Amino acid sequence: RMAYDDYIKAGKIAGEVRENVRKTDWVGKTVYEICEYVESEIRKRGAKCAFPVNTSINEVAAHYTAEPNDELTITEDDLVKIDLGAQIDGYIADTAVTVCYNPQYDTLVQGAESALNNAMSMMKVGVKSSDVGRTIEKTIKDLGLIPIGNLSGHSLEQYTIHAGRSVPNIWSIGSFTFQEEQAFACEPFVTTGEGLGFVHEGKVKNIFALASRKKTKDKEADEMLDYIWNNFNLLPFALRWLLEKWEEKDARRLLEILVKKKAVHAYPVLVEGNGERVAQAEHTFIPNENGVTITTNP
């Protein structure tokens, strides 16, 4: 029961921050400013960040977060997915909004939102995951758009963002049935009719997570390993988050050692296969007998 309350509390915070992000004009702002603003708003409300804010622009579908003092600036032509997570005692709320100031991309943004809403309105205990995927896919294709087939939502557990079950964005073979007391994130990703509908890994890797607590025999690197465990547990983190304790140069060097020794995993950005723009919408939800509790509703 405790866990349920924490999911609700984290969801309220994440939902509130997401709605503020939606209402803000980010044109001329850097991704660094977006990340710092959103992460500080989550902390201000009494939660911790469940992962670094993702600010993925245009054909980058996911997993870009700001480098320290990142100069990358939002233009009025950009489609920006802002994906944020709050956690209380490791119980996570994961939610996203796509901001865009050029009306020619409204259909993409709407496509992601409609697919998410349609998935949520059919959700309750006993629903099959493949049927949710079918609904999302149909909603998107009816608009002449394409869902990203190899990105999906996911089950959530304490300190675990991807807890083993997938909430598909396309109809898929093999499925499970939603049960109560389980938390999930649903996150349709949508690209244009010209898109491939699949993402591949890009070169940039600026989100990290602990992979192993095995010591490296490098005293400084092991200190960083302990710091990561004590501050972020197994949840993802950014280089920016290490700068309270280390100079940037040292932080980069030590992180590189940890990645090389496979103590830390580095996540690459995910890019639409044909370089087409991508929009995303996301809620965290808990199914129940009568429907669904969407924790990240404002």
Q: Could you say which of 6, 154, 222, 272 is catalytic?
A: 154
Q: Is 162 tagged catalytic? A: yes
Given the residues 162, 218, 248, 265, the one annotated as active site: 162
Convert 68-119 into a string of H (helix), E (strand) and C (coil).
CCCCCECCCCCEEEEEEEEEECCEEEEEEEEEECCHHHHHHHHHHHHHHHHH
> Could you count the other beta carbons within 10 Å of the beta carbon of residue 88?
20
- For the chain, the farthest-separated pair of C-alpha atoms sits apart, in whole angstroms, at 57
Amino acid occupying residue 185? A
- For the question of residue 154 being annotated catalytic, the response is yes
Alpha-carbon torsion (239, 66, 140, 178), positive or negative: positive
Set 83, 137, 222, 272: catalytic member: 83
Catalytic residue among 6, 59, 222, 282: 282
CA distance 155 to 144: 29
Of 6, 67, 94, 222, the active-site residue reads: 94
Distance between CA atoms of 47 and 26, rounded to whole angstroms? 24
Measured CA to CA, the distance from residue 217 to residue 221 in angstroms comes to 8
* Side-chain half-sphere CA neighbours of 71 within 13 A: 0
Q: Which of 6, 41, 187, 272 is catalytic?
A: 187
Cα separation values, 196 from 77, 117, 231, Å = 21, 24, 39
Give the Cβ contact number of residue 89 at 10 Å.
Answer: 14
CB 156 within 8 A of CB 235: no
Positions annotated as catalytic residues are 83, 94, 154, 162, 187, 282
